[in-house]
């Protein structure tokens, strides 16, 4: 009996060890390029490890049962008439409940750190002069932060392109240029059907819904060129609806901005 | 108090065709209707599978080069709609439900045999109409979710036919649900208590409650959508002041429970199959019943987890995260109980048990990604990507379709009196299991790394992984060949099965195989312990 327990403990520790090793060493995610990304990857790692432990454990249990308790040719009759075990069933109700609850609280914490739980104040004078209702995407900030930020960009999504309007420079671009390490605030609107703004390296996605102008904020942390992908079926060319986001040093960004700026705005 | 009502038989029974012709008739026999559902569903599965193969051929290369882009969207819309409404829902509910439930409650037929036949005969015309819409003016191309405004702006004829077809299929589903509830509650043989019913009855009771509560919402939503399309109303059309997110709420109020309408019956079926082949009682009967009902209740309050990126308010995201994640608890209980059912048994290794164990492994995997997807911050990155595609195929294919095959291997001798060939069955399992995992496991990585779903073209860096996935799809297509050969050979020349080849204790086996029209020659047996393995079997017989 003691022998059996030792094997059980050995197997369980092995499953844990493998899961932790895989969780920490196998990277399934793209590069991290926004302040959201490392937070997301932390959550992913935890869920990946817990998932692996449960999956490997259950798979071993099923395959072991099939092998160990298979009917041999000389055997007749039935297995043991075991109809249940209350304490065992209580254990595997309570433990998963606790795990699920902890995961829920933890992901709430993650979501809060991403800025998802902040209420958007409807202080409309900050968002131009109109009084339309603004919907909040994840990782929004308070309106005050948006107001002092000069990087507000207006995104228009249409079949099958994204257009980026820089109101401060009075120009429209097909590429999204942003400086690194600065909070970007975008107001997104759709001209026709539902689209979605997704940058995998930033770990953010927000649907762009016609009739619902939506604010989306993010802070890029790594210079580079990343794809912007439409993630909501929007018609035949949905797969081709892509754009690029170019994260660059502030000086490069300013150079690009000044080159494209239309001075007529001051006239 | 249970009243046993003698089911009404048609007055001109002599006019009903005999032999194979009765499968093409308006038969009122629940066994005939069950087989009608199964064969009809399988034919649509072959159509849906062909469409899936077309999708995987298109995705074997990064360019959109196999079919025109709008046809691709029609193909993926038809694939999803056919697989859900014409294959999985009718087969796990209609086929096995009709065949087994009257046996399990000790009745000679369903409570409403005519309604039952109507429910079946709605399916072939609406299915054919759906497929035929491709040849009229192009099928619907807004995905099986038919989100407005896309569904309002794409060509109207295909979308309207799609709505009509789904409405009819939903009606069929509601008729079936009412029938199952009435049969299980009112048609039980005197002396048979609810807590003595085989687990599949409980699964069907829960499923039918979900069908009756949520399908009418889908019907109402689709009727409003058709008004928007035909009559230019503005329920969901933002140009006319409508709100597209309201559609999403209404749609998912049905379509999330629809997932449980597809998996709960499979949970019931596997609970019948495992005890028979493991020669052990079903572990934890009472907790299984309560976990089914827990899933039913929770399943009704989780729909907004499909909309985490649709601008839902933070409190709503939090509520739906917690509710969704908690479904893992009753579901987990069921899986632990099934493994405990296997533990210490005398398991006959055959095709039925292999498909059931394949189901456990696949579904646990899909369940784990499901708990991850329930977490808002996790979902925001992978929503509408191939990660989600992989997740739900692990649930509906790796879960439910594996159980459909397991059930066919288990009940084929009941229906035909012939055994299926085990060698071909095990070959079928191995090819399906490898093909399925090869097809869908890599798609998790695709989604995490930036491949959205429903695209005909993609970033060339994903080509290799997509080709692995397409290879898996090829294996899945090939795997139906040994299955079909097996069925056609065994129906004619299969080994004689006898009445009860598995020595099972559930009531459908306590009559001849195939059963007589009246189900039992004499009175229906009272089976108080459908899982009484390991006890005095003589007492049961």
Q: Which tens digit of pLDDT belongs to each residue from B61-84?
A: 999 999 999 999 999 999 999 999
Q: What is the CA radius of gyration of chain B?
A: 23
Instruction: State pTM to two decimals.
Output: 0.92
User: Pick the residue with more confidence: B21 or B431?
Assistant: B431
What pLDDT is recorded for position A76? Answer: 77
Cα angle B197, B198, B200 (rounded to 5 degrees) comes to 120
Q: Which of A107, A108, A244 to mutate to test the interface with B (most CBs of B within 10 A)?
A: A107
Q: Among all chains, which residue has been given the structure tokens 């009753």?
A: B330
Find the mean pLDDT for residues B215-224. Answer: 95
Find the mean pLDDT for residues B134-141. Answer: 89
Range scoring the smallest mean pLDDT among B123-127, B209-213, B517-521: B517-521
**Alpha carbons B349 and A66: distance in angstroms, whole number:** 7
> What residue in A sits closest to B64 (Cα-Cα)?
A239
Helix boundaries (H) for B29-122: 30-58, 69-81, 89, 96-105, 113-121
CB atoms within 10 A of CB B113: 21
What pLDDT is recorded for position B318? Answer: 84
pLDDT of B26 strictly over 60? yes
pLDDT of B21 strictly over 90? no
Q: Do A238 and B454 touch (CB under 8 A)?
A: yes
A226 phi, psi to nearest 5 deg: -125, 150
Q: Are A175 and A164 in contact (CB under 8 A)?
A: yes
Sheet containing A152-158: order of strands: A135-136, A214-218, A184-190, A152-158, A161-166, A171-173
Residues of chain A with pLDDT under 70: 1-2, 117-151, 263-267
Helix boundaries (H) for B138-191: 150-153, 156-186
**Alpha carbons B325 and B317: distance in angstroms, whole number:** 12
What pLDDT is recorded for position A21? Answer: 93
Q: Which sign, positive or negative, has the C-alpha torsion B445, B450, B453, B457? A: negative
Q: At what angle do helices B351-374 and B328-342 cross, to 10 degrees?
A: 160
Residue (of B253, B379, B272) closest to B325 by Cα position: B379
B287 phi, psi to nearest 5 deg: -65, -30
DSSP for residue B149: T
**Alpha carbons B335 and B92: distance in angstroms, whole number:** 19
Q: Which two tokens stand for residue A176?
A: 């999204």
Collapse the DSSP code of A197 into the 3-class scheme (helix H, G, I; strand E, B; otherwise coil) and give the result.
strand
Residues of chain A contacting residue B454, judged by C-beta atoms under 8 Å apart: 233, 238-239
- Shortest CA gap A216–chain B (Å): 10
What pLDDT is recorded for position B15? Answer: 58
What pLDDT is recorded for position A211? Answer: 86
**Alpha carbons B308 and B320: distance in angstroms, whole number:** 9
Cβ contacts of B131 within 8 Å, gap of 6 or more: B47, B78, B82, B139
Strand A184-190 to A171-173 pairing: unpaired
**Alpha carbons A254 and B532: distance in angstroms, whole number:** 78
CB atoms within 10 A of CB A121: 13
Of B242, B357, B449, the CB nearest to A200: B449
**Alpha carbons B396 and B361: distance in angstroms, whole number:** 13
Q: Which two tokens stand for residue B351?
A: 């095709």
Q: Do B378 and A135 touch (CB under 8 A)?
A: no
What percent of chain B stands above pLDDT 70? 96
End-to-end CA distance of chain B: 26
- The 10s digit of each residue's pLDDT in A133-148 is 666 666 544 444 544 4
Residues of chain A contacting residue B311, judged by C-beta atoms under 8 Å apart: 135-137, 206-207, 209, 212, 214
Q: Which of B377, B384, B388, B461 to mutate to test the interface with A (most CBs of A within 10 A)?
A: B377
Q: At what angle do helices B96-105 and B402-416 cross, to 10 degrees?
A: 60
pLDDT of B195 strictly over 60? yes
- The 10s digit of each residue's pLDDT in B80-107 is 999 999 999 999 999 999 999 999 999 9
Q: What is the ipTM of this complex?
A: 0.91
pLDDT of B388 strictly over 90? yes
Q: Among all chains, which residue has been given the structure tokens 């309007």?
A: A165
Q: Do B321 and A108 touch (CB under 8 A)?
A: yes
User: Pick the residue with more confidence: A74 or B2?
Assistant: A74
Q: Do B455 and A238 touch (CB under 8 A)?
A: yes
pLDDT of B536 strictly over 80? no
What pLDDT is recorded for position A113? Answer: 84
**Alpha carbons A181 and A60: distance in angstroms, whole number:** 46
Quote the mean pLDDT of chain B: 91
- The 10s digit of each residue's pLDDT in B150-176 is 999 999 999 999 999 999 999 999 999
H/E segment holding residue A190: strand A184-190
Sheet containing A195-199: order of strands: A176-179, A242-248, A224-229, A195-199, A204-208
Phi-psi region of B60 (alpha: psi -120 to 50; beta: other; left: phi over 0): alpha
Q: Do B345 and A69 touch (CB under 8 A)?
A: yes
What is the SS3 string spanning B450-470? CCECCCCCCCHHHHHHHHHHH
Residue (of A43, A46, A31, A44) closest to A199 by Cα position: A31
Residue (of B214, B126, B220) closest to B174 by Cα position: B214
**Alpha carbons B487 and B420: distance in angstroms, whole number:** 7
What pLDDT is recorded for position A2? Answer: 65
What pLDDT is recorded for position B339? Answer: 94
B93 burial via Cβ count (<10 Å: 0-12, 13-18, 19+): buried
Helices (H) and strands (E) in chain B, counts: 20, 0
Residues of chain A contacting residue B70, judged by C-beta atoms under 8 Å apart: 236
- The 10s digit of each residue's pLDDT in B299-319 is 999 998 999 888 777 778 888
Q: Are B352 and B377 in contact (CB under 8 A)?
A: no
Q: Are A121 and A136 in contact (CB under 8 A)?
A: no
């Amino acid at each position: 009996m003691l022998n059996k327990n030792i094997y059980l403990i050995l197997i369980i520790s092995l499953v844990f060890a493998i899961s932790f090793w895989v969780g920490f060493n196998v990277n399934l995610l793209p590069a991290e390029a926004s302040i959201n990304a490392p937070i997301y990857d932390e959550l992913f790692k935890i869920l990946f490890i817990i998932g692996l432990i449960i999956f490997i454990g259950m798979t071993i249990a099923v395959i072991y049962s099939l092998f160990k308790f298979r009917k041999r040719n000389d055997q007749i009759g039935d297995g043991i008439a075991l109809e249940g075990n209350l304490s065992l069933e209580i254990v595997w109700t309570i433990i998963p409940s606790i795990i699920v609850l902890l995961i829920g609280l933890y992901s709430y914490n993650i979501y809060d750190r991403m800025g998802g739980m902040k209420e958007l104040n409807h202080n409309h004078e900050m968002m131009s002069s109109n009084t339309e209702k603004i919907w909040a995407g994840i990782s929004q900030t308070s309106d005050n932060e948006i107001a002092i930020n000069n990087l507000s960009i207006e995104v228009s999504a249409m079949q099958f392109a994204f257009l980026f309007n820089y109101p401060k420079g009075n120009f429209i671009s097909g590429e999204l240029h942003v400086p690194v390490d600065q909070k970007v605030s975008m107001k997104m609107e759709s001209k026709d059907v539902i689209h979605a703004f997704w940058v995998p390296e930033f770990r953010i996605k927000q649907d762009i819904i016609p009739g619902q102008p939506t604010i989306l904020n993010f802070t890029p942390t790594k210079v580079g060129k990343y794809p912007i992908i439409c993630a909501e079926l929007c018609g035949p060319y949905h797969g081709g609806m892509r754009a690029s986001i170019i994260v660059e040093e502030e000086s490069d960004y300013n150079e690009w901005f000044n080159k494209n700026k239309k001075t007529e705005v001051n006239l | 108090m249970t009243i046993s009502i003698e089911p009404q038989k048609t007055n001109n029974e002599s006019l009903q065709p005999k032999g194979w012709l009765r499968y093409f008739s308006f038969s009122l026999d629940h066994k005939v209707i069950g087989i009608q559902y199964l064969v009809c569903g399988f034919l649509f599965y072959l159509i849906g599978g062909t469409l899936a193969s077309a999708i995987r051929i298109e995705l074997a290369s990064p360019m959109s080069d196999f079919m025109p882009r709008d046809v691709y969207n029609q193909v993926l819309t038809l694939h999803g709609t056919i697989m859900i409404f014409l294959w999985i829902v009718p087969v796990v509910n209609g086929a096995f439900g009709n065949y087994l439930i009257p046996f399990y409650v000790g009745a000679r037929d369903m409570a409403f045999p005519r309604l039952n036949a109507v429910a079946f005969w709605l399916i072939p015309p609406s299915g054919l109409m759906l497929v035929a819409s491709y040849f009229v003016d192009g099928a619907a191309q807004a995905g099986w979710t038919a989100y407005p405004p896309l569904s309002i702006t794409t060509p109207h004829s295909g979308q309207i036919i799609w709505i009509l077809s789904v409405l009819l299929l939903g009606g069929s589903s509601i008729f079936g649900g009412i029938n199952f509830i009435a049969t299980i509650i009112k048609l039980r043989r005197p002396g048979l208590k609810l807590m003595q019913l085989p687990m599949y009855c409980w699964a069907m009771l829960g499923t039918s409650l979900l069908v009756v509560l949520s399908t009418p919402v889908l019907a109402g939503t689709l009727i409003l959508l058709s008004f928007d399309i035909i009559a230019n109303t503005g329920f969901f059309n933002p140009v006319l002041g409508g709100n597209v997110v309201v559609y999403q709420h209404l749609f998912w109020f049905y379509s999330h429970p629809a997932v449980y309408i597809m998996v709960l019956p499979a949970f019931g079926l596997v609970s019948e199959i495992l005890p028979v082949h493991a020669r052990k009682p079903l572990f934890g009967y009472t907790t299984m019943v309560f976990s089914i009902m827990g899933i039913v209740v929770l399943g009704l309050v989780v729909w907004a987890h499909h909309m985490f990126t649709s601008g839902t308010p933070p409190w709503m995201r939090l509520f739906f995260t917690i509710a969704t994640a908690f479904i893992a608890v009753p579901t987990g209980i069921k899986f632990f109980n099934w493994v405990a059912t296997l533990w210490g048994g005398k398991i006959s290794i055959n095709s039925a048990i292999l498909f059931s164990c394949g189901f456990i492994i696949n579904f646990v995997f899909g369940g784990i990604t499901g708990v991850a997807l329930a977490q808002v911050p996790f979902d925001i990155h992978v929503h509408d990507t191939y990660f989600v595609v992989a997740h739900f195929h692990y649930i509906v294919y790796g879960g439910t379709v594996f159980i459909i095959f397991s059930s066919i291997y288990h009940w084929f001798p009941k229906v035909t009196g012939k055994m299926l060939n085990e060698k071909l069955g095990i070959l079928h399992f191995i090819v399906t299991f490898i093909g399925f995992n090869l097809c869908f496991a890599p798609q998790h990585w695709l989604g995490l790394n930036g491949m959205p779903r429903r695209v005909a073209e993609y970033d060339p860096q994903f080509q290799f992984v997509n080709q692995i996935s397409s290879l898996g799809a090829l294996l899945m297509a090939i795997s139906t060949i040994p299955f079909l050969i097996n069925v056609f050979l065994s129906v004619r020349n299969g080994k004689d099965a006898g009445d009860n080849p598995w020595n099972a204790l559930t009531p459908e086996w306590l009559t001849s195989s195939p059963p007589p029209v009246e189900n039992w020659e004499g009175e229906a047996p009272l089976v108080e312990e459908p899982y009484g393995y390991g006890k005095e079997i003589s007492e049961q017989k």
